[in-house]
Amino acid sequence: MVEILIKKEACRGCQICAEICPTDVLEYNAAEQKVFVKNAADCIACLSCTYICPSSAISQQDFHNVKNFYRDLEFSVKAKRYL
């Protein structure tokens, strides 16, 4: 399961992460004025919250990191043995 970490001291309570999350994983706590993880089990590791957070307060662990294909050609030769 994806582990979501929110740095409380960095969160400014803008809620943009909770708004963008497609599976309602995050919720706003009005008393604390911070966002917290309500339902980590539904996280699909889209990383939208992490990318959009203006305070870089969110990070994930134990998720599938997608493969990108736009590597340097020199690098491709070195990576060949792992393909």
64 binds other proteins (CB under 8 A): yes
Alpha carbon 20 to its chain's center: 11
The one among 36, 38, 47, 59 contacting ligand SF4 by CB under 6 A: 47
Closer to other proteins by Cβ: residue 12 or 71: 71
Binding site for ligand SF4 (CB under 6 A): 4, 6, 11-17, 20-21, 23, 25-26, 35, 43-49, 53-55, 57-58
